[in-house]
Chain A
Amino acid sequence: MHMADALISPSVGCSMLAVTGAVILYSSKKIKEEFDDSRIPLMGVLGAFVFAAQMINFTIPLTGSSGHIGGGILLAILIGPYSAFLTITSILTIQALLFADGGILALGCNIFNLGFLPCFVSYPFVYKNIVKEGSSKTKIFTGATIASVLGLQLGALGVVLETVFSEISILPFDKFLILMLPIHLAIGIVEGLVTATIVTFILNAKPDINAYSYAPSVKKNIFAIFIVAALFTAGFFSWFASSLPDGLEWSISNVTVKEEISSKEEKIYSSLSNLQEKTSFFPDYNFKNDKEQGNIGTSVAGLIGVSITFITIALISLILKKLKDG
């Protein structure tokens, strides 16, 4: 459920990048303060581990389909939330670059959904509330399962909110939510059980594992600050996005069209004067009566334009190739 660049608006993408960027800075500072330098290779190898582990599948009971682990909660339990967050961030960045899995602008969203929410919400508020020092294995198992399930639900909610705020997909909020949450509940339960089984396995095999996760308790008020910051930046960016580019577009299209076309025939001018608004190839259909749109002339203009664009790009590439091959 990686968010893609294609689904987000600049304001959502940039504000999420800004917010997660702040958390990255804070986490790296924390890690430097709290841990010795063995943490650097540890996080690196564990990141590669999660990457590799995600490529091994297991069969989901009863369905026959296959799943894999997400890793956020597992890492948080193993090495503490700050290190886990930074490791997940790195994994997502690599996936975005190497596999184009989730985009570069969408990285902030993905880090938030798959890193921040499990490491800084689900882990401290759920897992840590169930599992205390010296808790029994059953308790650890339960804690890991519930934290994973909840982490994934929150992540799915994040995806829905980011998509809806971006207004690229026109899926309405409620329908999208109803679509996403149950699917991810099912996935989450399986993933939770698997994560919990791995945690118990490791605890049995390496009882001193807790040494890795030694971390001061996450300061909970920090997250209130982050969430306020997130809302604030998101608000700022959307205001910026809604006021500026639209206005710019409107004024430029008006000016240029009038200048270039004013000498033309009256008739053409009247249709051209609302060029961008009314007659563009794919106009703002929301505000229009569909009958009026059946103006064949405009769609033809659009089609011709696109074809010419294609031909131009093809020609340029041919020329480039010729030039390059000498």
Chain B
Amino acid sequence: MSHHIIEVNDLHYTYPDGTSALSGISFRITHGESVAIVGANAAGKSTLLLHLNGFITPNIGKIRIGDFSLTKKTLPMIRRTLGMVFQDPDDQLFMPTIYDDVAFGPINLGLSKEDVHNKVLDALSSVGILHLKDRPPYRLSGGERRAAAIATVIAMSPDILVMDEPTSNLDPKSRRNLIELLKTFKHTKIIATHDLDMAVDLCERVIVMHNGKIVADGSIMEIFQNDSILFSSHLEKPLRMQGCPKCQNSFIEK
């Protein structure tokens, strides 16, 4: 296992219609790290994530995942290593039942029937929805659907979890459950989000993007204290780091 598990080098990408999305992105993420990628709408977060899984080929630049640099040939390997949780669980749950959906990946890996069955049960119990295995996806709540989408990825036993807005559209309780769930995962995590409070809960490092560039990369506590960085990249301090309007105290020690 390589020490630098994800390495992105000078990534440039312009969409076919001429919109520039990424201009010179470079970073390294090491094994076991949890990194939040934050930035305003259209900052380039989603485009960056699509690069990591090879759905978009960069105009310039290189990506290394684990021991492989990303090429057409290594794509299947890389997609196994790097599990992607999409923003809309409906895009990810396309099979008739949750069981079939979670089994989809392991079956494609060519596992035996029994192994597939075990993988599915493990993945479902790890996200706490084993009891929903025979339900169709449209019979699940938003939170359950999100958990199921994560289970479909977990079942592939990836080393890295990449998530796009995992807490969007969740009610507070489901959001909290999800955060607690993600805390239990030992995977290397990359989370693109607007939910800065969740980022504080889950990540020790943050990459701030603006207009296709990285404007800050470092400790999440330090960067989220820096008002000028946050302001210029159209972000806002996480709520819990803002002073309480009544007692003027912040919940987090500075």
Q: Which residues of A contact B (CB under 8 A)?
A: 41, 44, 208
Contact = CB atoms under 8 A, between A and B. Distances in A.
B94 interface: yes
Contacts of A44: 94
Contacts of A208: 16
Contacts of B94: 41, 44
A228 B58 CA distance: 53
Task: Report the 3 A-B pairs with minimum CB-CB distance, sorted nearest first.
Answer: A41-B94, A208-B16, A44-B94
A interface majority secondary structure: helix
A44 B94 CA distance: 10
A20 B122 CA distance: 44
B interface majority secondary structure: loop
Interface in B77-136: 94
Contacts of A41: 94
Interface residues of B, number: 2
Nearest to B94: A41
Nearest to B91: A41
Contacts of B16: 208
B17 to A, nearest CB: 9
A41 B90 CA distance: 13
Nearest to A208: B16
A38 to B, nearest CB: 11
A41 B94 CA distance: 9
B149 to A, nearest CB: 16
Interface in B1-55: 16
3 contacts: A41-B94, A44-B94, A208-B16
A41 B16 CA distance: 23
Nearest to A207: B17
B83 to A, nearest CB: 19
A208 B17 CA distance: 10
B200 to A, nearest CB: 36
A48 to B, nearest CB: 11
B210 to A, nearest CB: 28
B47 to A, nearest CB: 18
A44 B16 CA distance: 26
A44 B95 CA distance: 12
A111 to B, nearest CB: 23
B85 to A, nearest CB: 18
B135 to A, nearest CB: 19
A133 to B, nearest CB: 20
A208 B16 CA distance: 10
Nearest to B16: A208
A208 B94 CA distance: 26
A98 B16 CA distance: 42
A46 to B, nearest CB: 14
A41 B104 CA distance: 14
B79 to A, nearest CB: 14
A140 to B, nearest CB: 21
Nearest to A41: B94
A203 to B, nearest CB: 15
A141 to B, nearest CB: 24
A98 to B, nearest CB: 14
A129 B199 CA distance: 58
A24 B23 CA distance: 48
A123 to B, nearest CB: 28
A227 B94 CA distance: 37
A149 B162 CA distance: 49
